[in-house]
């Protein structure tokens, strides 16, 4: 982090007084993202060890800003140490705006308007800025070519189909991949392809969109990026809204090129399919292979998109083995289990010690409660309880006898109940509740267990409890 502090101080002529890790480092990229702030200014610092990818992002950013596109200003860079400093665009992504302004299929006008602004800007990236872009800096390749497509399709085959246990005929599927690749490559492709054009990579400030995470950009077809946005799995846009936004995009695109709408649509849904497969490959790699369960929460939404496509779209090229694999996915009990879990609100309850910092949110959701139990009577001060925990009968009995503990729990339950009801009605999937005390052994453990007991058994709720200090204690004992 020292290199980021140095860049900040050199650029702003004052040292940062706060450094806050952001949720981006929990995602799939491996980049560390940190907000640095002094009393007057803030910036976002990035640490990442792949020089070529950093160089691509920095050059693209400067190029897009020369074209007047809304991307972050680059304040300072140190490529030798894998670090750069960029403009702070705030905390509200398009995905977060959408999540807060919807009730199921009903999406509030301000979220729809934000999407309309986003699709209206996309042709400027693809056509206007794409004309004179230096594609030599693209990483890992300069175009969405045959090799790029093969990487995505094999990623899907080996990390999703194989690990999810979906049966397929290897040779027949390879034959379909070959036909699909030839068809994709027959679309005009002399445009900038953003590559990861989705709702988490658009930030909103003062109601206007700003764009990030285009370091994987390359030359490619127009259809890929609009497909990425409209079939972004967890955004779960209703089909009618997807169609409206596609029409709005095509209208704006027509202001930049001589648009043959029929030719565009001929290739469009093939790009929708390949983007969904690329995303499923990533979910499978991170979720099934690396065992990061929160990546699998997107799978049911991708399956929902595939179900709609199978019922409503017919591609101009025959892909029987691939379509059979998709049908196998929709019939899979393993994947249906993920779907039923995704319908639930998951309440994650933690106990921890304030000496060791707050629990990290592994879901990327970034919300919830932290309750401080240090105001309650402390069993740890009494010799008879020192070797026990908040899960042991004598400690539970002691705390149950304290009126202040019952008052505390009643207030907690009232707040959590209200959030649970609202989260369920708005389709949110994660709520985090953390209890801290001095040692993380007695009061916080007791409070976490009591809340879990009150929430378990409710319809549409999945409750997961972790006692962070007790886990560390267990590991230490195992090593002795």
> Would the pLDDT of 427 be above 90?
no
Confidence of residue 342 (pLDDT cuts 50, 70, 90): low
Question: What pLDDT does 339 receive?
Answer: 65
Give the span between the Cα atoms of 8 and 12, in whole angstroms.
6
Give the span between the Cα atoms of 85 and 36, in whole angstroms.
9
pLDDT, one tens digit per residue, over 262-291 is 999 999 999 999 999 999 999 999 999 988
Confidence of residue 476 (pLDDT cuts 50, 70, 90): low
CATH number belonging to domain 94-341: 3.90.1200.10
Instruction: Tell me the average pLDDT across 302-319.
Output: 96
Contact 158, 285 (CB under 8 A): no
Question: What pLDDT does 400 receive?
Answer: 94
> Would the pLDDT of 479 be above 70?
no
pLDDT, one tens digit per residue, over 192-231 is 999 999 999 999 999 999 999 999 999 999 999 999 999 9
Mean pLDDT of the chain: 92
In a 10 Å sphere around its CB, with 0-12 CB exposed, 13-18 middle and 19+ buried, how is residue 397 labelled? exposed
Question: What pLDDT does 26 receive?
Answer: 39
Share of the chain above pLDDT 70, in %: 95
> Would the pLDDT of 363 be above 80?
no
Closest to 182 (Cα-Cα) out of 149, 210, 156, 153: 149
Question: What pLDDT does 477 receive?
Answer: 62
Angle between helices 261-284 and 299-312 (to 10 degrees): 150
Where helices occur in 231-349 by DSSP H, the ranges are 239-253, 261-284, 299-312, 320-331, 333-343
- The SS3 of residue 38 is coil
Report DSSP state, residue 21: E
CATH number belonging to domain 2-87: 3.30.200.20
Where is pLDDT greater, at 463 or 307? 307
In a 10 Å sphere around its CB, with 0-12 CB exposed, 13-18 middle and 19+ buried, how is residue 198 labelled? buried
Contact 216, 87 (CB under 8 A): no
In a 10 Å sphere around its CB, with 0-12 CB exposed, 13-18 middle and 19+ buried, how is residue 49 labelled? exposed
Where is pLDDT greater, at 294 or 410? 410
Parse the chain into domains and list their residue ranges: 2-87, 94-341, 344-479
pLDDT, one tens digit per residue, over 112-145 is 999 999 999 999 999 999 999 999 999 999 999 9
- The SS3 of residue 220 is strand
pLDDT, one tens digit per residue, over 18-36 is 998 885 433 556 789 999 9
Instruction: Tell me the average pLDDT across 54-65.
Output: 98
Cα distances from 200 to residues 210, 273, 463, in angstroms, run: 11, 20, 26
Other CB atoms within 10 Å distance of the CB of residue 395 = 22
Question: What pLDDT does 213 receive?
Answer: 95
Contact 83, 96 (CB under 8 A): no
């Amino acid at each position: 982090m020292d290199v980021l502090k140095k860049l900040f101080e050199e650029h702003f002529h004052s040292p940062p007084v706060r450094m806050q890790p952001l949720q981006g480092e929990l995602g799939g990229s491996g980049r560390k993202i940190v907000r640095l702030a002094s009393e007057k200014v803030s910036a976002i610092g990035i640490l990442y060890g792949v020089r070529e990818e950093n160089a691509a992002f920095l050059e693209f950013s400067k190029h897009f800003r020369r074209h007047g596109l809304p991307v972050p200003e680059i304040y300072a860079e140190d490529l030798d140490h894998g670090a750069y400093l960029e403009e702070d665009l705030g905390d509200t992504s398009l995905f977060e705006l959408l999540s807060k302004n919807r009730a199921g299929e009903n999406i509030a006008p301000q979220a729809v308007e934000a999407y309309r602004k986003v699709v209206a800007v996309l042709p400027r990236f693809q056509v206007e800025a794409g004309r004179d872009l230096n594609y030599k800096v693209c990483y890992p390749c300069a175009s969405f070519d045959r090799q790029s497509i093969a990487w995505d399709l094999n990623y899907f085959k080996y990390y999703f189909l194989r690990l999810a246990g979906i049966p397929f005929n290897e040779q027949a599927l390879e034959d379909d991949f070959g036909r699909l690749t030839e068809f994709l490559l027959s679309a005009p492709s002399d445009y900038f392809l953003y590559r990861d054009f989705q709702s988490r990579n658009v930030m909103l400030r003062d109601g206007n969109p700003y764009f990030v995470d285009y370091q994987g950009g390359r030359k490619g077809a127009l259809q890929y990026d609009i497909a990425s946005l409209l079939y972004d799995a967890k955004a779960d846009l209703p089909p009618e809204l997807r169609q409206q936004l596609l029409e709005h995009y095509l209208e704006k695109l027509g202001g930049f090129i001589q648009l043959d709408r029929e030719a565009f649509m001929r290739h469009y849904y093939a790009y929708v399919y390949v983007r969904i497969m690329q995303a499923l490959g990533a979910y499978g790699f991170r979720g099934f292979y690396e065992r990061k369960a929160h990546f699998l929460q997107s799978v049911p939404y991708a399956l929902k998109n595939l179900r709609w496509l199978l019922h409503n779209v017919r591609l101009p090229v025959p892909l029987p083995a691939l379509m059979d694999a998709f049908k196998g996915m929709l019939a899979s009990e393993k994947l249906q289990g993920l779907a039923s879990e995704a319908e639930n609100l998951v309440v994650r309850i933690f106990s921890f010690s304030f000496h060791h910092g707050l629990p990290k949110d592994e879901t990327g959701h970034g919300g919830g409660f932290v309750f401080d139990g240090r105001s309650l009577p402390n069993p740890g001060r009494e010799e008879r309880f020192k070797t026990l925990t908040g899960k042991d009968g004598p400690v539970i009995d002691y705390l149950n006898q304290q009126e202040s503990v019952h008052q505390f729990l009643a207030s907690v339950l009232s707040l959590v109940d209200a959030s649970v009801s609202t989260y369920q009605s708005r389709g949110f999937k994660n709520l985090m509740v953390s209890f801290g005390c001095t040692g993380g052994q007695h009061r916080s453990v007791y409070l976490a267990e009591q809340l879990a007991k009150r929430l378990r058994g409710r319809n549409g709720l999945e409750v997961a409890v972790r006692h962070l200090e007790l886990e560390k204690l267990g590991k230490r004992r195992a090593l002795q």
